[in-house]
Structure 1
Amino acid sequence: MTLKVVEWSTGTVGRHAIAGIDAHPELELVGVWVSDPAKVGRDAGRLAGLDRDLGVIATDDREALIELRPDAIVHTAMTDDRVAEAIADLTAFVAAGINVVSSGPVILQYPYGVLPDEMVEPIRDAAVAGGASLHVNGIDPGFANDVLPLSLTSLSQEIDEVRCLEIADYSTYYQPVVMGEIFGFGKPMDHQPMLLMPGVLSLAWGSVVRQIGAGLGLTFDEPLVERHERVAADRDYETVSVPIPEGAMAALHFEVVGQVDGVDRVVLEHYTRTHPEQCPDWPRPNEGDGCYRVVVTGEPTMTVEMSHHGRDGDHNVSGMIVTAMRLVNSVPAVVAADPGLVTALDMPLVTGRGLVGGA
């Protein structure tokens, strides 16, 4: 059975989601929502950067798209700076009986213990009442620090610590709001960016730590531990999102840690550069300029590194692709799931079924 899908946004992730939906043999693109008036009336194929029309015209009429009664919405709109509004959107979709896979807000990847029950229950109740499911995922938070590490732990005899790392150069990552306002790159070193306000790291990536903990049967000390270090630019740098003058914030290392009896047990860790030459003492990918690495320390100690790059060689572009495709390829499983909030712990094995060339 072909599932009818609406794509919600056509930005850095959404454009790849459109291409992915079009390529997926079990999915049919029936609608596209855009926020930019200049995109209204344009064909989805052109907005996705394809060299052909798909016969689906973009609109900013949300009610018209809901009235299509699609089987699912692939929601890739920016949520980092509009969390409450995004949650309201997702709640309305599932209440209308439409299944949703979304790249954010990432806090909903595994909200238990991160959000208070009075915030989680309305979303879950709306989904159950509507007979729909909501699954928030991607690559990070997402596959690189839920399915990948939890699968690796299935090979363990004893586990001392699970550590999930992103090691990346963000110089070609185009998200000006995220880079400048949320991370604080290019800002003075005495400026406190949103991400480093107390408790924000645990909101943004605490769901990762808590979901791994739930998968391993752990009860963490409260609150989660946050650690970070910032590095100033030793010269002027240019990125596709923001300029970084000498002396401004240019690199960031942070950890979100789940401890048991004061001992680190699950760690989410990022090493983020804005130029590959920065911080030579920090870990580097074994290949390319960006990777996800999982280290399970114990008996045995195991390390898995996942690097990626697009056909143009850029890892930030492929980062958008893998985020989009984790959502798109999850649509059939989410549609088949019981109504409610669906986390990685609830999902069956998701594969790229039907995507092999010539299949």
Structure 2
Amino acid sequence: MGTTYRVIVWGPGEVGGAFARAAHRRPDIELVGAKVFSERKDGADLGDLLGLGPIGVAATTSAEEVLALDADCAIVTPRPDVLGAKLDADVIALLESGKNVISTAAYHNAAMPNWLTASRPPVSRLLEACRTGGTTLHGTGVHPTFMVERVAMTMARGVSGVSHVRCVEAVDFAAAAGSMWGGLRRIGFGSDPADLGAGKPLALFGDLYYGDLTGNVAHHLFGASMDEVRVVHDLRGIPAAERFETRSGFVVEPGQAAALHLTHKGYLGDHCFFTNEECWYLGAANAFRGDDLPYPDREGHSPIDYTIEITGDPSILRTRLTFDPNPGASGTDRTNPVTAASVRAILDALPAVCAAGPGVLIDDPTPHYVHDDRVRL
């Protein structure tokens, strides 16, 4: 028999819940606990919370109960508004209790400083916790991680002398819940475009993901230390031409921001080596997928796509990846494609994280080689 991983889900919401449903279908994963943050969920069966029916795993609001469980790994997927010192404290406690941690909310680049660094424990504290518990910490997801650290960095190996990497994510938020990330209006939708800018919460929040991502590109391509990397961000709003209402009832009036364009640019000295763009919009009529893209807009409408462009020597490499919902999909839960990709990243990382020695684990885009076991004597 192969290895079975005993796993805790810390925050079974959109991503954590999708992971738990996928894990429940896997014979090599045993769900043993769930940390919830709502009193009404305390004591409920995790399977009932996820629409699976009872599975014999009780959810709890008690961190102490979760820390006392015997588990190989905790999958940490909290709300974005808890990022910072509180999340660090929870993760440190999990690591010190002997549980490896995989998070989709943070730790994509634990060494990268940002505006929140001064209020958080030093990164050495995370490493100390790993050594105390004999555990490993890993941050993963679809973006950061899959799109740039894997896809773009693999593409970059096809050219020499890479001078710039551009990644553009375009997502239709029309089907998103009105309360997502504290509310669509809090993100910036429905605002006066003139009121948006680099100081707004979304732009600052983006540093915790896309600033980390920028540091990873500098590390992978140039071997740069994180204190050499300068990140500049901005946020602009693109007005709606006509009134638009989402499925959740959120309304944007003409002239209010129906699309958001969040940019993070990475510099080494005066050289801009990386640009990440988030283009989030409400509905096909307000679709904005970025300025000066190398591909014409596609026919029809896809709710999620990515454009990646590598500028190097002797050529420029470009690709476009599109997530189109598959109406014939046979999965047991209709998961958002980005959520599903994040779950896939967690599942892929689980064996490596559990097998690694104490420390912080990152994706390695360099080539790996194995013997061809199809060839036998």
Category of TM-score, reference length = shorter chain:
0.7 to 0.9
Whole-Å Cα distance in 2 between the matches of residues 316 and 271 of structure 1?
A: 21
Any idea what the Cα deviations from partners look like across 1:72-128, whole Å, max 9, x if unmatched? 0111121334422111111111011110101113xx211323255962111121112
- Bigger shift: 215-224 or 25-34? 215-224
- 2:181 aligns with 177
Give the C-alpha shift of residue 335 in structure 1: 0.9
Identity of matched residues, %:
24
Paired position in structure 2 for 1:307:
322
Distance in 2 between the 1:76 and 1:310 partners? 24
Query: Which residue is 1:254 aligned to?
Result: 262
Between 328-337 and 174-183, the greater mean CA deviation after superposition: 174-183
Name the counterpart of 2:207.
Answer: 202
* Equivalent in the alignment of 2:371: none
Q: TM-score, with normalisation over the residues of structure 2?
A: 0.81
C-alpha distance in structure 2 between counterparts of 1:25 and 1:347, whole Å: 31
Q: Which residue of 1 aligns with 2:336?
A: 317
Q: 2:145 is matched with which residue?
A: 142
User: Does the aligned pair in 1 maintain the 2:80–2:181 contact within 8 Å?
Assistant: no
User: How far does residue 310 in structure 1 lie from its aligned partner after superposition?
Assistant: 4.6
Q: Does the 8 Å contact 1:101/1:135 carry over to 2?
A: yes
Q: Check conservation: 1:131, 1:339, Cα contact below 8 A.
A: yes
Residue 330 of structure 1: which of 334, 349, 361 is its match?
349
Aligned-partner SS, 1:56: coil
What 5-or-longer segments of structure 1 have no aligned partner? 350-359
Quick one: structure 1 residues 240 and 122, their matched pair in 2 at CA, closer, same or farther if it must change by over 3 Å?
farther
Deviations for 1:306-339, whole angstroms, at most 9, x for unmatched residues? 3224555999812122222312331111111121
Separation (CA, whole Å) in 2 of partners of 1:191 and 1:280: 19
Aligned pairs (5 A) from 1:1-359? 1-50=3-52, 52-105=53-106, 108-115=107-114, 119-174=122-177, 175-180=179-184, 183-192=187-196, 193-196=200-203, 200-219=205-224, 223-240=230-247, 242-278=250-286, 282=290, 284=297, 288-298=302-312, 299-311=314-326, 317-345=336-364
Cα 1:78/1:201, change in 2 over 3 Å: closer
What is the distance in 1 between the residues matched to 2:262 and 2:182? 16
For 1:185, the aligned partner's letter is: F
Residue by residue over 1:186-230, the C-alpha shift from the partner in whole angstroms, topping out at 9 and shown as x without a partner, is: 233354531235xx5434311101101100125486532224321
Partner Cα distance (1:308, 1:171) in 2: 15
RMSD over equivalenced CA pairs, Å = 2.9
Q: How far off is 1:24 after superposition?
A: 2.6
In terms of Rg, which structure is larger?
2
Gaps in structure 2 of 5+ consecutive residues:
369-377
Distance 1:254 1:218, change over 3 A: farther
Q: Is the 8 A contact 1:285 1:307 kept in 2?
A: no
Please, what TM-score do these two structures have when normalized by structure 1? Answer: 0.85
| Distance of 1:194 and 1:151 partners within structure 2 | 32
Amino acid at match of 2:58: I
